[in-house]
Amino acid sequence: MNQLTQSLEQDGSSRFACLSRGRAFLARPSVPGWAAIPLRLIVGYGFMEHGFAKLSRGPEVFAAILHAIGAPAPHLMAWLTILTELIGGLAVLLGAFVPLVSLPMAAVLFVAMLTVHLPYGFSSIKLLTVTSGRAQFGPPGYELDLLYLAGLAALVIGGSGPIAIDHYLRKK
């Protein structure tokens, strides 16, 4: 490839040389670590948003839902889920203790997937109808749960990235 780039540069084709330099930049070891930052932001924020939604409606409302689906100790499970989503989401957002907090977060996702979303299939978007110019959607499938699980797995395997508490603690 270098011979091709050199021959093209000699022919005056700098576009290919620019592409080659760009690819070399992406191949640097420090660049792939930055990919964890947007992943952390969306996964962390998403978990926190779900936790805040449950908290704002009242933990007793979520406990009633858990009771309806047959969860044991629904009030305790409601609080554990809310705290897992809030604390785990904040930890992922900050890149702190990601491998540790990912376990209970993954457990919440698996339970939601198996007890709530699985019967509705894979797709998270089910357009039912459009009335008065507004879309009406059906219940979501397990697609989003799998995306969150993949995001957590990528962060555990690949690390939290350079701007993370885990990165700072590893350097000490």
3-state secondary structure of 137: strand
Owner of token pair 């690390």: 159
pLDDT tens for 110-161 read: 999 999 999 999 998 899 999 998 999 999 999 999 999 999 999 999 999 8
Task: Report helix angle 2-10 to 14-27, nearest 10.
Answer: 150
Helix (H) or strand (E) holding 130: strand 127-131
Alpha-carbon distance 122 to 146, whole Å? 9
Distance of CA 84 to the CA centre of its chain: 14
Examine the pLDDT at 4 and tell me if it is beyond 50: no
Q: Is the pTM of this model over 0.85?
A: no
* Confidence at residue 96, expressed as pLDDT on a 0 to 100 scale: 96
